[in-house]
Structure 1
Amino acid sequence: MVKEESPPASSTPPWEAKKLPSSRGLARKIILWGLALGVLGLIIYGLKPRPIEVELAAVRRGPLTVHVMEEGKTRIRNRYVVAAPVTGAMRRVPLKPGAEVKAGETVLTVIEPGIAPLIDARTQAQADARIAAAEAALSQAGQTLEMTRTAARFAQTNWERVRDKATAASISANDRDNIEREALMREREVRAQEFALQVATYELDQAKAALIQMNMPGSTGQPYEVKAPVSGRILRVDQESAMIIAAGTPILEIGDPTDLEIEAEILSRDAVNIRPGAKVSVEQWGGPDPLPATVRLVEPAAFTKVSALGVEEQRVIVLCDLDPAAAKGTTLGDRYRVEVRVAVWHEDDVLQVPAGGLFREGSAWKTFLLDPATSKARNIPVEAGRTDGRWTQVLNGLQVGDRVLLHPPDSVADGSDVVERQ
């Protein structure tokens, strides 16, 4: 048998044979330490606070106008309400709102005399009896007149005979005067009886008038035409259908739609600063551009109005005249909603800052000013004046060219690093 030979024994321990060369171990350590330092650097960089992105605006000088904004409505300056001049049966009004009318020519409606109330048999019998009585009174007055005339002729003849033929010795002066007085009295009685005959005639006509509607229902008299008092257009028809109408009842309303004014209900604390002649900008009326207007009147009395939140407010009506050249061609009508901006204060050269750059801190106004050297935000107090909602007057605390933060977030504090948002 052949005996296998064993490999020669090594003099190096087994644990030392597994060690890597020293150069490879050093490189591996460098790579590991580099990775660790890189991760640590990334962590430190991620934890480092970054500058806050903000919007900036510059302080400037320029004109500033303070406005009062409020909702308003258009209305026709001169309105004419046409009412029924007499009581009667009005025919249906043929015109509709928007129809054009001419003064003294356009017939708005026709009013006919009203129909007398119906009478029953008892009332008719009484009316017939009154007619018979009136006829009898008329006959009696006629006979009395004839008797009076006969007596008057006799008295006049007697007086003429005495006046022409009697001498002073044949009749006394007293008898002569009595005969003359008798003739005059009889003549006056004739005239009085003639008047009595006319009265009896009128009473008969009045008694017969009560039965005219019953006997001749088609005889209603002369109708009355209601014509337009002014030229313009019909704004509203109050009574359109045919009806029995009383005198003074409104029928329709007429006006000129091109003669418009603006009525705005403004809070009394704002109205005290408005003067006649102030410039007004009419907005949100439906067109692309605002319409110019001018304040004509600030009513001297205020009234109480409850707001949508249930708060009682004192408001004043301010009337504004539209510029005729600008309002020409618009489709504005009566009682259209608009918004008015009334100028209450103006200066041509004012140091001003955007209103979004100011904020309240307690009772003081403050702003964040950008320090151009350190790019840090500085919290400084500002004395603010008037504002138009977009720009605010600066009385103290800022200078022209300073840059302030607009609507700074809550994370911005005094000394925070900021950067302008691109």
Structure 2
Amino acid sequence: MFKTIAIVVGLLLVVGGVWYLTQSGGPPVDVVVAAHRPIEEYIDEQGKTRLPRTYVISMPFDARIGEISLEEGDHVAQGQQVARIVQEDVEAEFAEAKAAVERLAASIRETGDKSVEETTRQQAEYFVQSMVNTVEAAKTQMTASRSRYEYASTFLGRVQRLIEKGAKTEDDLDRANLQKVESETEYQTDVLTYQAILSIDAATRLLPSMVGQYIDRKDLSVAVLQQQKAEAEARLRTAQLRLERSTMTSPVDGVILAKDLTSEQQVAGGTKLLEIGQLDQLEVEAEVLSQDATHIKAGDRAEIYGPSLGKKAGEGIAMKVERVYPAGFTKVSSLGVEQQRVLVILRFDSGITVEALEQQGLGVDYRVQTRIYTDEKPQALVIPRSAIFRNVSGSWQAFVAKAGRLERRDLQLGLMNDLEVEVLEGIEPGEHVLISPEASLTVGAAITPVQVGAPEEGA
């Protein structure tokens, strides 16, 4: 009897289970209703803030820099002094160069003054002319002396002949001899004088040439001094330039981003002292996969969000794509995968930069999350991204619950993002689509659809 009861109870349980499965339609599955609603296609990547240009204040030359009192974060105005070389050093260098130029200028004036030399040359020319006259006078004197000497010799011969005839006395002969000797001596003296004057005349004729040569040498000295003065003036210009550059000012209204030196010290030329940036020019750069970058163009809508900003995706700070770099670069991901990426620059919408700086506390090189919207539709047939999968041939498919049974649909997709996807063909509005279907499901299997969420307007 007990055994019969147990068999009857077992049969009842089996029949009841078969009835339950038949009536309930199979195991429950989560489904959503395919509905028309807006969809946006976007690309999410990490990014960081940056400035398109920073201004580096560096040492213009080797010198001793004074103490820099500015600190990172300090605001500076255009033209404001931000650093200064010790002035005593550059001022002393400038004064030395200036004194050298003035000294050479004085030497040029002194050497170039030829008034004394010109007077001397004029006097030499007068002296040469005077010597010409003196030579002529000495020659005339010598000619006259020679004539007197010749006359005295002739007269002596006459006296000697007349003495033989008794017409002249011995006294007349002695006077004639004396006259001859005196005239001969005078003639010889005049000859020597004439020769001496000729020598003096020859030497005198060299005086104007000598003075001219001296003037020419002074001209050469002036040329050398002028060259030295030009070199000194070049050094003076350098010293003047160094003096002007010794005070370094900010080229823009901005903020001190970095400060490399503090105390007074000797620094080599070219050493970086400060870096200044304009935070109102802040922008964001994102490294996007090259296959995604082909869908991005300048002017596309974008946003930045993340925990650092206290903003969620879709509610971030509005931005726009400024430009997409034409060249990509290779980067190894954290998983060791080599990827080809492209740099994309985002700009804040007008007027938002100041708000982002003041309210969100953004600075340079801050990490943010970026979202770039590449396309959107105000109305599209949308299902969850988790509902689609690929078959062995790579085509997109999805499961649809139809009259308590599973159907597999081939899909043609449109816009797609991380959460949703647009269906162009394969699913009709209002149909129930499985969410995250299990691999064990088979076409035609009985299921019990469990709707997740309420259908939206336009379904």
TM-score by length of 1: 0.68
CA contact (8 A) 2:390 2:397 kept: yes
Residue matched to 2:374? 344
Report Cα offsets for 1:379-422 as digits up to 9, x if no partner. 33323333112221223211111111112345543322213167
CA contact (8 A) 2:48 2:367 kept: yes
- Aligned pair count reads 339
1:307 to 333, 350, 354: 333
Q: Look up the equivalent residue of 1:243 and give its one-letter code.
A: Q
Matched, 1:186 2:209: no
Report Cα offsets for 1:232-253 as digits up to 9, x if no partner. 1100112334332121221110
CA contact (8 A) 2:409 2:427 kept: no
Report Cα offsets for 1:239-285 as digits up to 9, x if no partner. 33433212122111001122211111111111122111111121215
Residue matched to 2:153? none
Cα 1:336–1:160 shift into 2, 3 Å: farther
Residue matched to 2:29? 54
Report Cα offsets for 1:11-69 as digits up to 9, x if no partner. xxxxxxxxxxxxxxxxxx9x998897556434543575463222221212343321121
Larger radius of gyration: 2
Q: Distance in 1 between matches of 2:80 and 2:207?
A: 67
SS of 1:308's partner is: coil
Q: Look up the equivalent residue of 1:400 and give its one-letter code.
A: P
1:107 to 59, 79, 82: 82
Residue matched to 2:173? none
Deviation at 1:113, TM superposition (A): 7.5
Give the alignment of 1:137-216 within 5 angstroms: 154-159=120-125, 181-192=209-220
Q: Look up the equivalent residue of 2:366 and give its one-letter code.
A: Y
Matched, 1:319 2:345: yes
Give the alignment of 1:227-246 within 5 angstroms: 227-246=249-268
Q: Look up the equivalent residue of 2:319 and give its one-letter code.
A: A
Q: Distance in 2 between matches of 1:317 and 1:353?
A: 32
Cα 1:276–1:419 shift into 2, 3 Å: closer
Q: Distance in 2 between matches of 1:222 and 1:385?
A: 65
Q: Distance in 2 between matches of 1:393 and 1:84?
A: 60
Cα 1:44–1:326 shift into 2, 3 Å: farther
Deviation at 1:92, TM superposition (A): 3.2
Q: Look up the equivalent residue of 2:310 and give its one-letter code.
A: G
Residue matched to 2:295? 273
SS of 1:294's partner is: strand
Q: Distance in 2 between matches of 1:105 and 1:382?
A: 65
SS of 1:328's partner is: helix
Q: Distance in 2 between matches of 1:341 and 1:76?
A: 19
Residue matched to 1:365? 396
Q: Distance in 1 between matches of 2:45 and 2:119?
A: 92
Residue matched to 2:413? 384
Cα 1:236–1:159 shift into 2, 3 Å: same
Report Cα offsets for 1:304-358 as digits up to 9, x if no partner. 1111122222211111111133333221110111121212233344333221222
Matched-pair identity in %: 26
CA contact (8 A) 1:90 1:112 kept: no
Residue matched to 1:96? 71
Aligned CA RMSD, in angstroms, stands at 4.1
CA contact (8 A) 1:291 1:327 kept: no
Q: Look up the equivalent residue of 1:314 and give its one-letter code.
A: Q
Q: Distance in 2 between matches of 1:290 and 1:309?
A: 28
Residue matched to 1:397? 426
Deviation at 1:83, TM superposition (A): 0.9
Matched, 1:68 2:90: no
Residue matched to 2:322? 296
Cα 1:152–1:273 shift into 2, 3 Å: same
SS of 2:424's partner is: strand
Deviation at 1:79, TM superposition (A): 0.7
Q: Distance in 1 between matches of 2:273 and 2:76?
A: 15
Residue matched to 2:385? 355
2:363 to 309, 333, 337: 333
With 347-356 and 84-93 compared, the bigger mean Cα shift is at 347-356
Structure 1: runs of 5+ lacking an equivalent: 1-28, 116-140, 202-220
Structure ranking higher in helix proportion: 2
Q: Look up the equivalent residue of 1:413 and give its one-letter code.
A: T
Deviation at 1:75, TM superposition (A): 0.6
Deviation at 1:193, TM superposition (A): 5.3
Cα 1:344–1:185 shift into 2, 3 Å: same
Q: Look up the equivalent residue of 1:395 and give its one-letter code.
A: L
SS of 1:81's partner is: strand
CA contact (8 A) 2:32 2:451 kept: no
Q: Distance in 1 between matches of 2:325 and 2:302?
A: 16
Q: Distance in 2 between matches of 1:357 and 1:298?
A: 33
CA contact (8 A) 1:111 1:226 kept: no
SS of 1:342's partner is: strand
Cα 1:236–1:33 shift into 2, 3 Å: same
